Amino acid sequence: MGRKNRNRQRAQQDRDGRPEGKRNRDDAGWGAGYSEIIKENKLFEHYYTELKIVPEGEFEEFMEAMREPLPATIRITGYKSHAKEILHTLKEKYFKEVQDLEVDGQKIEAPQPLSWYPDELAWHTNLSRKILRKSPLLEKFHQFLVSETESGNISRQEAVSMIPPLLLKIEPQHKILDMCAAPGSKTAQLIEMLHSDMDVPFPEGFVIANDVDNKRCYLLVHQAKRLNSPCIMVVNHDASSIPRLHLEQDGKKDVLFYDRILCDVPCSGDGTMRKNIDVWKKWTTSNSLHLHGLQTRIAVRGVEQLAVGGRMVYSTCSLNPIEDEAVIAALLEKSEGALELADASADLPGLKYMPGITSWKVMTKEGQWFSDWSEVPTSRHTQIRPTMFPPTDPEKLANMKLERCMRILPHHQNTGGFFVAVLVKKAPMPWNRRYPKLRNKEVNSSSEAAPAEELQMGGSPAVVPPADGSSAGAPMEAVEGETPAEGNPSVPDTPDPSEVKKDNVCGPPPPKKMKLFGFKEDPFVFLTEDDPIFPPIQAFYNLSPDFPKLNVLTRTHEGKKRHLYMVSKELRNVLLNNSERMKVINTGVKVWSRNTDGEQFGCAFRLAQEVGHMLFSLSPEMGSIVLRYLPDPQDLDAPQCPIDLCGWRGKTSIRAFVPRNERLHYLRMVGVEVFRDKQGKRKDGSTETQEGSTKDAAGLSQEADLLEQEGEETEQTGSESNTNDTEPVSSSCDGPTS
């Protein structure tokens, strides 16, 4: 069958010189290769007109906004010391250059800060992503955004995507779970908020970012690595059955409950039509009907792992109540009062939204409507479930306060469509009110029952709620890590006896206990108390005796250790006590990298740029050093924030190790603008363009040459196979050192 199809395709290609179904670009000018998508969907319009989610008289305006390209929005990284400097550069240079320009007949308006985002750290323009990439007039602005994004100083993120992390109200001590984290823009926000106090390099809290797609986990790693945090761990699991983790406290294992959970579930995405135009032709109500069950299971699993008093934000980029209010209503009904919707109306002043709705209907893709479960024929029961309808009891419906949900409509503030709800856990879930019989020998399993308030110290599901939302039947004994809707143990509590766990090692989970997909990860091996690799490092860098060396890890069991990473004390606890139940993709921030030149000075490891801001006070006489610039408040033309660069002091020279993706950023900080043409070649004097400088031109040219000089050394991040180049840059011995 496959061979016949290939032959037919070849024959068609022979007839007209191109593959069947492909259009010749010459037929419709440059850029044509695919038929233009018509931004119309009658079923979509009929559905949302009937549901009345848009205020009366605004539907045409709503549809017009949906057909317009989504404007570009950027967010300045909040916890970086360079944030104010980046904001100053944007406001005083780039925003002024782009305003009042005209591109393809469209006048460029001055960028404006998002009124509801704190401290003017998020901005939007009327520029679409396509215009920003293609227009020669905006090339410098686009290159600025690209280079600063690669450096982790700017995130190009859709405006409505920034809302959920803000509503979580994160504090540095919070334990946070991001259930469906890829591609990672919201995760980056969570990390920033965790590090809100820059004087505390190792906050007590941490972020565990999960995604079911193994390949997308590496995109998530890339986003997180830009922020150089020791408090982030990326894991790869199905969110609807993500395993329950343990922590060791006072010599006993307790169940890990999270203070904050972000539950941004997979959805039909009809709120993204402005940027994902494929949705116009693919949209149908069956998408929401298929996703409702998965969304509910993920949300249930989230609230199970939420601590009492904790806060979970449920969000989708869908406008459909089947994926939105219906999931929240099902969750509230299952909780029997353990959950409540929080009133977040005052949390983001300036944000325009519509309150959640309390009445909706269900429509099939053929256009047939049902107002109640009782109307659904038996033949439809596999596609339409009772939890898709609003509660029929008026008192129960009123007590849910679904109007506290928030639906963002595109035409109100020129954004995408979005839905968000904030849930607060008042008590353990009703099926979580008994201790399970844990198999772990270290945990006392003699007590089979405990009061509800004790569960948060070590309980897990004991009664499983039915998938269709009906009343729970007889109690079912549950085990750690079970899927609520299925009641089957998926992650045993103890490793296979044949898999003897080594001390201080967190490796991939045993294959007998969990199906693994994707790449096989290198192990996470923590240094031991008497590890011979650390004393030379401690002596060379004059580290204090209480330096947390047990939090330092490598990614190899044997051979020379090329890189040393560090995690926070709490993440070390998580890693060591859960290696048999979770697949860790990446964690830790690089602290030291092997440099054989250092052996002559007594230490074979140099500092990595990722931790320059944490360890800047170290100043050995020779070898690895930190170069620190301190701002002069009197010189307003100079950078007004500290700049730290890790480097190397030899006998006659100093070299700064500048990561490849950060060179343009540091040049910009000292007043030099370096741009590249379409072929990627630099423009300076004859081959490079330098702008925006008020300093001596010769001095700046010298600085540019120093920072741009190509080097030979290559860094790696995460796994030993993932690379991130760091360039050594030579300088004379009179540079500042700390």
Distance set, CA 530 to CA 533, 549, 567, 572, 593 (Å): 9, 10, 19, 18, 20
Distance set, CA 518 to CA 234, 235, 471 (Å): 14, 12, 39
182 marked as binding residue: yes
Strand partners, 314: 263, 421
607: number of Cβ within 10 Å = 27
14 marked as binding residue: no
16 marked as binding residue: no
Distance set, CA 110 to CA 221, 387, 410 (Å): 34, 46, 20
181 marked as binding residue: yes
Strand partners, 113: 123
Residue 359, token pair as written in the block: 């009445």
468 marked as binding residue: no
Instruction: Report the first-to-last Cα separation within the chain, whole angstroms.
Output: 71
Residues in the chain: 738
Which position has the token pair 């008042």? 426
Whole-angstrom distance, CA of residue 663 vs CA of residue 464: 55
Whole-angstrom distance, CA of residue 737 vs CA of residue 622: 11
CB-based burial of residue 548 (10 Å sphere; 0-12 exposed, 13-18 middle, 19+ buried)?
A: middle
Q: Is the separation of the CB atoms in 425 and 393 below 8 Å?
A: no
DSSP code per residue over 104-143:
TTEEPPPPEE-TTSGGG-EEEEEEEHHHHHH-GGGHHHHH
Which position has the token pair 């070849």? 10
180 marked as binding residue: yes
What residues have CB less than 8 Å from 621, skipping those under 6 apart? 649
Angle at 274 between CA 269 and CA 277, to 5 degrees: 75
Whole-angstrom distance, CA of residue 694 vs CA of residue 141: 20
| 232: nearest Cα among 310, 309, 152, 314 | 152
State the catalytic residues: 317
Whole-angstrom distance, CA of residue 67 vs CA of residue 273: 8
390 marked as binding residue: no
DSSP code per residue over 674-697:
--B-TTS-B-BTTTB---S--S-H
Read off the amino acid at residue 394: P
Q: Is the separation of the CB atoms in 423 and 168 below 8 Å?
A: no
Q: What is the largest CA-CA distance in the chain?
A: 85
Q: Is the separation of the CB atoms in 268 and 287 below 8 Å?
A: yes
Whole-angstrom distance, CA of residue 313 vs CA of residue 165: 8
Q: Is the separation of the CB atoms in 257 and 311 below 8 Å?
A: no
733 marked as binding residue: no
| 128: nearest Cα among 75, 70, 74, 73 | 70
183 marked as binding residue: yes
Cα within 13 Å of Cα(469), Cβ side = 20
Whole-angstrom distance, CA of residue 319 vs CA of residue 536: 59
Residue 309, token pair as written in the block: 């008093």
Read off the amino acid at residue 277: I
Whole-angstrom distance, CA of residue 696 vs CA of residue 261: 51
93 marked as binding residue: no
Strand partners, 125: none
Centroid of chain to Cα 712: 32
Name the region of 336 (left: φ>0; alpha: ψ -120 to 50; beta: rest).
left
Which position has the token pair 């890693």? 575
Handedness of CA 491, 495, 499, 501 (dihedral sign): positive
Whole-angstrom distance, CA of residue 589 vs CA of residue 575: 15
Return contacts of 633-638, CB within 8 angstroms, 24+ apart: 637/671, 637/694, 637/695, 638/670
**Annotated binding residues:** 180-186, 211, 238, 264
**Annotated binding residues for S-adenosyl-L-methionine:** 180-186, 211, 238, 264
